[in-house]
């Protein structure tokens, strides 16, 4: 392992800003901050753990003077390398800033620091009978700061939207070390450029979040969950489009393909229809039972008309858990089947969902790879998961090719290479293909104007 490239005076200066015990420089510590939830690792030169905006501003000012990179990090669970220090530098671990400052049931908002675990915020909100809807798969370990920086999605995005839709206000520190505020604790706010929104999904390249205000919604009081089995994955994809076209708004609408179904059944023995081409899982929720009933009944009719072989419904909490257990363990089941699992994130407009599913199957066959597909079908967001072994020299080139082909397919079908995981460095090469050179150039100009020295999270998507 390479030694830290930061000089002793710089490290001492960092220590004087955040305290000696909050600057980690040992090989062991640095290695533990070299990774996130994707494969590629880069060992940082130091890890700094600030406690407030003042310390963050101090670190960033020093970084601009001494020209070292600063990479903000929350739970380190990202899937596109957003918190990995590509060219070295300092990882800014924000998890000590983990206070929930207020939950206001009158204005339906919550204010918290960036290091709060998202599930903790959600459960505090729930105590006030309020819902914080964004629920990425990592909700129990990822932080609200990371969720905002990556604009995290989740299972409920189809009805409730993603993190951006809940962001009211941020306090942040600019790349050059100036604290600023954007947005307001109001439903409406058009005061100037929406810098809060700009921060959201910026993957930590434009500022370091220090305080976040999110909107909350009333907790739904009624819900119905059902599953429908289909002959083929593309038939299931059609059914998803039909449900949405029928004017229904499920809270969640998921799809699991045959390969994934069989893998889950082998793993968890849930009595799933393993011969089905794909399974759809849907949940409707709302404030009144009758509205939910109306949606669920219409959905049953649409699913039957779309060729569902078998429709099952949960009649109590235990049955509901059983239905969602299948979805919850999908990734676990897939990732146990092979040593390495690579989770992709392609997303297409709804009418092209079944075409995308067909393409995934073809790409798997062409490259002789096992790809299990599941995902948030209702919002067109699929998670084709390639099962492989990263130590297998023969297979890895085919894996790389398949990933590229998946991206191609998503773009050809009018979609995006990433619905919710972010670009980071893993997909940087595809950004221009998706948004065009001009768009990337505008992004670069924004980045340069805010961060002239390229301090914050360099090497990500631009």
Partner 1 sequence: MTKLDEAAASCMKCGFCKAACPVFFGEETDSPRAKVRLARAVARGELELTAGVRRRMERCLNCWACTVECPSGVEPNKIALAMRSAYVERDGLPFLEGLIFRVGLRRPRLAAWGLKAVGLAESVSAIRLQGNPLRRLLPVLGMRRDKDLPQLGRRTLTSRLPERIEPLGEIRSEVLYFPGCAANFIYPEVGLAAVSVLRKLGALVVLPHELVCCSTPVFNSGDIEGARELAARNIEIIRAAKPDLIVTSCGSCGLTIKREWSEVLGIREADELAAKVVDISQFVARYADAVVTDGEVGILCGGPNGVLGESAKVTYHDSCHLRRGMGVYKEPRELLRAILGNRFVEMEQADRCCGGGGTFSIHHPELSQEVAEVKMRCLAESKAQLVAAGCLACVMQLTDSIVHRKMPQRAIHFVEIIDRALRPVE
Q: Tell me the closest approach of the beta carbon of residue 76 to partner 1, in angstroms.
A: 6
Nearest CB to partner 1, comparing residues 76 and 250: 76
Q: Which of 332, 344, 454 is nearest to 410 (CA)?
A: 344
Nearest to 308 by CA among 335, 278, 342: 278
Closer CB to partner 1, residue 230 or residue 259?
259
CB 114 within 8 A of CB 210: yes
| Residue with Cβ nearer partner 1 (24 or 311) | 24
Smallest gap, in angstroms, from Cβ of residue 96 to partner 1? 6
Q: How far is the CB of 117 from partner 1 (least distance, A)?
A: 8
Q: Which of helix, strand or coil describes residue 307?
A: coil
- Residues 245 and 25: their CA atoms lie apart, in Å, by 55
Closest distance to partner 1 from the beta carbon of 381 (Å) = 18
Distance CA 55, CA 417 (A): 36
**220: which DSSP letter?**
P
Helix, coil or strand: residue 73: strand
Q: How far is CA 162 from CA 114, 145, 153, 155, 386, in A?
A: 17, 14, 5, 9, 25
In the bound state with partner 1, the residue whose beta carbon lies nearer, of 139 and 456, is 139
Q: How far is the CB of 298 from partner 1 (least distance, A)?
A: 35
Nearest approach, Cβ of residue 199 and partner 1 (Å): 23
45: closest CA among 59, 24, 22?
A: 24
- Taking residue 62's Cβ as centre, other Cβ atoms within 10 Å add up to 21
| Residues 384, 385, 388, 390, CA torsion sign | positive
Minimum Å distance from CB 221 to partner 1? 24
Q: Give the nearer residue to partner 1 in terms of CB position, either 25 or 453.
A: 25
Based on CB atoms, which residue is closest to partner 1, 47 or 357?
47
In the complex with partner 1, the residue whose CB is nearer, 1 or 106, is 1
Minimum separation from the CB atom of position 35 to partner 1 (A): 5
Number of helical H runs and strand E runs in the chain = 16, 18
Question: Residue 147's closest CA among 226, 94, 218, 86?
Answer: 94
Q: What is the distance between the alpha carbons of residues 252 and 117, in angstroms, rounded to a whole number? A: 22
- For binding to partner 1 (CB under 8 A), which residues are involved? 1, 24, 26-29, 31-38, 49, 75-77, 93, 95-96, 98, 115, 117, 119, 138, 140-142, 329, 331-332, 335-336, 339-341, 389, 391
Cβ proximity to partner 1: between 38 and 347 the closer is: 38
Rounded-to-integer distance, Cα 215 and Cα 163, Å: 10
């Amino acid at each position: 392992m390479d030694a830290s490239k930061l000089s002793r005076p710089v490290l001492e200066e960092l220590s004087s800003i955040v305290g000696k015990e909050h600057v980690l420089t040992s090989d062991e510590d640095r290695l533990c901050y070299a990774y996130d939830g994707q494969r590629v690792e880069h060992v940082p030169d130091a890890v700094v753990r600030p406690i407030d905006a003042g310390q963050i501003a101090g670190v960033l000012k020093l970084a601009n003077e001494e020209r070292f990179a600063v990479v903000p990090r929350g739970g380190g669970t990202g899937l596109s390398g957003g918190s990995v220090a590509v060219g070295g530098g300092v990882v800014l671990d924000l998890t000590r800033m983990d206070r929930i400052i207020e939950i206001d049931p009158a204005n339906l908002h919550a204010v918290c620091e960036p290091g709060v675990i998202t599930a903790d915020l959600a459960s505090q909100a729930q105590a006030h009978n309020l819902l914080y809807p964004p629920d990425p798969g990592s909700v129990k370990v990822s932080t609200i700061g990371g969720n905002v920086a990556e604009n995290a999605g989740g299972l409920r995005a189809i009805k409730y939207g993603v993190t951006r839709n809940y962001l009211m206000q941020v306090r942040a520190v600019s790349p050059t070390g100036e604290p600023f505020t954007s947005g307001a604790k109001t439903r409406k706010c058009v005061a100037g450029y929406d810098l809060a929104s700009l921060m959201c999904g910026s993957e930590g390249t434009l500022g370091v979040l220090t305080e976040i205000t999110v909107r909350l919604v009333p907790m739904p009081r009624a819900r119905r969950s059902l599953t429908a089995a289909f002959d083929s994955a593309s038939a299931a994809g059609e059914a998803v489009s039909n449900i949405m076209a029928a004017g229904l708004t499920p809270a969640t609408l998921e799809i699991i393909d045959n390969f994934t179904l069989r893998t889950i059944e082998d793993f968890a023995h849930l009595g799933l229809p393993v011969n089905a081409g794909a399974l759809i899982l849907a949940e409707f929720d709302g404030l009144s039972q009758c509205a939910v009933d109306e949606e669920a009944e219409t959905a049953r009719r649409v699913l039957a008309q779309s060729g569902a072989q078998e429709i099952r419904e949960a009649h109590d909490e235990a049955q509901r858990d059983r239905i969602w257990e299948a979805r919850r363990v999908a990734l676990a089941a897939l990732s146990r089947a092979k040593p390495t699992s690579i989770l992709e994130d392609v997303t297409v407009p709804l009418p092209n969902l079944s075409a995308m599913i067909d393409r995934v199957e073809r790409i798997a066959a062409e490259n002789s790879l096992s790809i299990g597909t599941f995902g948030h079908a209702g919002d067109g967001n699929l998670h084709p998961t390639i099962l492989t072994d990263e130590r297998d020299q023969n297979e890895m080139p085919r894996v790389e090719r398949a990933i590229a082909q998946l991206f191609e397919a998503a773009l050809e079908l009018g979609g995006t290479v990433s619905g919710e995981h972010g670009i980071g460095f893993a997909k940087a090469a595809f950004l221009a293909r998706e948004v065009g050179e001009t768009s990337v150039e505008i992004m670069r100009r924004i980045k340069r104007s805010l961060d002239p020295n390229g301090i914050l999270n360099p090497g990500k998507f631009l």
